[in-house]
Amino acid sequence: MIGRGWARTVLADLARHWRHFAAASVGIVLGVAALTFFLALGFQVREILLDRVFPTDHLEVAPKAADLDLFVLRLDLGRDALDAAALESLARIDGVEAVYPKMRLTVPAMASVGSSLFGAGMQTEIVADGIDPALMAEEVGGTFHEVDDGQPAVRCTRDVDCGGDAYCGRGAGRSEGVCRPFIPVLVSPYVVELYNGAFRRAYDLPKVNPDALVGLTFEMAFGASTFRPAAGPTIRERMRFAGVSEMAIPLGVTLPLGYVRRLNTVLDSPEAGERYHSAILEIGDRDSLPQVVDGVEKLGFEVRDRGVRRAALVTAIVIIVLGLVGIVLIAVAAAHIMHVFYLVVMVRRREIGLLRAVGARRTDIRRLLVGEAAAVGLAAGLVGVAAGVAAGAVADRLAASRLPNFPFKPESFFHFSPWLLASVVGLAVAACILGALPPAHRAASGDPSEALAGR
């Protein structure tokens, strides 16, 4: 039995025994709805953890610490820098697509934020590092770039004389100066969260919108510190916010790598301009994360634990638990369907005997019953998925109205991707087919005479 005849017979049988099949479907609908709901929740949690809280398509690698605690002091006995050979070794690890070195600013620095932002001038010690702008090209585009401060000096008296990307750098008390390029800086979302949380409350300052920070300027003095008097020269520059990025140093500002290299060379030593303190590894496929971490550790380096390990563990546990839920669902749904199909086969045994008598092969009977099971699974899967999505929408609405705001609170707690929905429906179909196989096999076995006699 093939083609339209088969399909028509399957549909007719479904219509005829709809009560049985509806009863069989209840468990599957509930199971599929629950699975859709929890998988979508799990995947969204995974996305938030790995994309926003602990981004794992990039790993920060640093020399392994070998600290020795001596009373109040901790002595650093390990390497504290990566050289060119180390960067090459890291680039050869399977799964690593690119290596971007990072360099810390090795001299103190102070930032002065003018009254335009906070209503009152503010000065603070600040740490900084430098990263390759190529790493940020996709995230913040061309606003974060290397600066060329070796251009011929252009004299100026006001900022407007220097165009949009430069300002008029004048010494104290001087009315004339030369045009200097703004140094683009990035800040981490942690800095913004910290400021908008505890810091602004303590100092009675306004909350800032991170999207509106781009383009704002402030001044930095490299080599200057309130902790100790400057032992060497000080370089003053105007900085301009280029964006907020996970790649930025968690507490401080991140500058283009070339500029930090020059500052370290000029203000500290030529060697300081050649030592990288860490490197960002770009990973092509998230699933290769464990393999990359393993490769890094084999080379004697360590992955900066910004929660990556915990995030990986949490997501692994979530996926294992959800996988178990899926397995339990398959087992329960298959058992339920099996029970119902045994009942259906018993009720229809004379009919099956008649079909065999007029020429149905064993495979025809199996195909008929499996087709009915697949149709039940498809219908139940679609209804279950719709119920799961609806439950997610209700949960989102409740979360939006009842849950307080917290860092990284998403607009939706669920990620209903098309492949997830299709997979869950496929799972429902597979469960129903699996469940129907033993009764279908029993219906098809034995001689037609037994079935016609009701045995």
What residues make contact with other proteins under the rule CB under 8 A?
Answer: 1, 5-6, 9, 12, 16, 350-351, 353-364, 447-450, 452
Q: In the β-sheet with 155-156, what is the strand arrangement from edge to edge? A: 155-156, 177-181, 166-169
- Residue 125 CB contacts under 8 Å (≥ 6 apart), including other chains: 108, 109, 110, 225, 226, 227
Closest distance of CB 348 from other proteins, Å: 10
CB of 439 to other proteins, least distance (A): 18
- Widest CA span in the chain: 112
- Output 362 or 441, the one with its CB closest to other proteins: 362
In this complex, which beta carbon is closest to other proteins, that of residue 17 or of residue 102? 17
Nearest to 39 by CA among 353, 315, 333: 315
- What are phi and psi for residue 219, nearest 5 degrees? -110, 145
Given the complex with other proteins, which of 309 and 455 has the nearer CB atom? 455
* 170 touches 159 (CB < 8 A): no
Q: In the bound complex, what is the minimum distance in angstroms from residue 336's beta carbon to other proteins?
A: 25
| CB-nearer residue toward other proteins: 283 or 444 | 444
Name which of 1 and 213 has its Cβ closer to other proteins. 1
- As a whole number of angstroms, the distance between CA 18 and CA 245 comes to 56
Distance separating alpha carbons of residues 392 and 38, to the nearest angstrom: 9
Integer angstrom CA distances of residue 233 from 130, 259, 263, 289? 20, 16, 11, 44
Structural tokens at position 432: 């129903």
CA angle 73, 130, 85 (to 5 degrees): 80
**For the chain, how are helix, strand and coil distributed in percent, rounded to 5?**
55, 20, 30
In whole angstroms, the minimum distance from the beta carbon of 343 to other proteins comes to 18
Shortest Å distance, C-beta 450 to other proteins = 8
Measured from the CB atom, is 438 or 448 closer to other proteins?
448
* Min separation Cβ 352 and other proteins, Å: 11
- Cβ-Cβ contacts under 8 Å for 450 (sequence gap 6 or more): 353
Token digits for 4? 């339209």
Closest approach of other proteins to the CB of residue 346, in Å:
17
- Which is nearer to other proteins, 207 or 455 (by Cβ)? 455
Q: What are the tokens at 433?
A: 């087919």
Pick 2 or 72: Cβ nearer other proteins: 2
Min CB(454)–other proteins separation in Å: 10
Q: Select 235 or 452, whichever has its Cβ closest to other proteins.
A: 452
**Closer residue to other proteins in complex, CB, 3/270:** 3
Q: How far is the CB of 354 from other proteins (least distance, A)?
A: 5
Q: Tell me how far CA of residue 177 lies from CA of 83, 113, 220, 262, in angstroms.
A: 39, 21, 18, 22
Q: How far is the CB of 435 from other proteins (least distance, A)?
A: 24
* 149 vs 447, beta carbon nearer other proteins: 447
For residue 322, the surrounding DSSP H or E stretch is helix 308-347
| Closest CB to other proteins among residues 157, 449 | 449
Q: How far apart are CA 162 and CA 168, in angstroms?
A: 6
Three-state DSSP state, 4: helix
Q: Is 236 exposed, middle or buried (0-12, 13-18, 19+ CB in 10 A)?
A: middle
From 57, 106, 107, select the one nearest 80 (Cα to Cα): 106
Q: How far is the CB of 363 from other proteins (least distance, A)?
A: 8
Output the smallest distance, CB 443 to other proteins, in A: 14
> Structure tokens of 292?
């990359």
Interatomic CA distance for residues 18 and 13, integer angstroms: 8
Q: Are 255 and 184 in contact (CB under 8 A)?
A: yes
Direct distance between the N- and C-terminal alpha carbons of the chain, in angstroms, rounded to an integer:
24
Number of Cβ atoms within 10 Å of the Cβ of 428:
32
